[in-house]
Amino acid sequence: MLSVRTANRKGKPRRTGYRVSTTRHWKKAVVVLHPDHHIDLF
């Protein structure tokens, strides 16, 4: 792993009936891997 960058993402507004609520805030991570390494997904 070469570097990790994080960003705080705001929740989106969602309508439930007549009220408007928001989804939860969440943290997004972008990981830069070394060219020799890879992540097996399947």
pLDDT at 7: 97
- Residue 40's alpha-carbon distances to 20, 37, in angstroms, are 40, 10
pLDDT band at 38 (very low <50, low <70, confident <90, very high): confident
Residue ranges per structural domain of the chain:
3-32
The Cα 8–Cα 37 span in angstroms is: 27
pLDDT at 14: 94
pLDDT at 39: 86
Segment 9-34, tens digit of pLDDT: 999 999 988 999 999 999 999 999 99
pLDDT at 25: 96
